[in-house]
Amino acid sequence: MEALEQAHRLRVDSDRVQAFLASIASESWLEYLIPASALALPDATPLRIAPDEIGYSHYALVDPRTCQAVGDRLWPALGLRRGGLTAIQFFNAPIRTPKRSWIVDILQYSHLPRRRARWTVVEIDGEGHRSRWDREKEEQVGLATLRLSGEEVRQGRSWPMIERWLRGG
C-alpha cells in the first residue's frame, strides 16, 4: 500500500484521487485494492457519474437499506481508457433481481471500437467463495462475470486480467 499511496501522491489530481478512494464502499481490503492499484495508472480517472446516464438498464441498482432505485444518482466510479478500450467501474453495486437483491463487487461498463457497449461484473473471491450463493448470484444477476482470486488482486494482476477478458482474449 505504501507504493500505491506514493503513486497517488505524485498524481496532479492527488486530492481528487484521495477523495474518490475515501468515497468508495468496500466489503474487504481486496475490493479496495483494485481501484487503488488502477489509480496508479496514468490513464485511470476517478469519476462521479450516474450508471443510468451511460446506459445501465439491466436490473435496478438499489439502496440496500430502502430498496429504492438509485441508478440515476451520482456514484463514485473509476474510468480507464487504454488502446481503444473504455471501462467504467462501479464498486459494491447493489442490484435488485426479481428474486432478491445482491451486491456485486464491481459493476462494469465497457466499450471497444466496432463493438456494442456492454455491462459485466467482476467478483473478487476471498476465502470462502464459490459456494452455492455465488453460483445463484451469477445466475440471478445475469451479466457475464469474471472471477478474480484474492492472490491475483494482491499481486496486482487484476487490471491486466480484466482488460484481457473485456477484449475477449
Q: Which pLDDT tens digit goes with each residue over 3-32? A: 777 777 778 888 888 888 788 877 677 777
Return mean pLDDT, the chain: 87
Nearest residue to 62 via CA among 121, 7, 109, 104: 104
* Residue 89, beta-bridge partner list: 78, 108
Distance CA 152, CA 163 (A): 14
State how far the alpha carbon of 81 is from the alpha carbons of 18, 45, 106, 109, in Å. Answer: 20, 9, 17, 12
Nearest residue to 156 via CA among 49, 37, 44: 37
State how far the alpha carbon of 91 is from the alpha carbons of 12, 113, 136, in Å. Answer: 24, 25, 20
Cβ(88)–Cβ(65) below 8 Å: no
Instruction: Over range 135-155, report the average pLDDT.
Output: 91
Q: Which pLDDT tens digit goes with each residue over 107-126? A: 999 999 999 999 999 998 86
103-107, 123-127, 133-137, 138-142 — which is least confidently predicted? Answer: 123-127
The grid cell for 2 is 505504501
Helices 2-10, 29-38: inter-axial angle, 10-degree rounding: 40
Residue 57 pLDDT class (50, 70, 90 cuts): confident
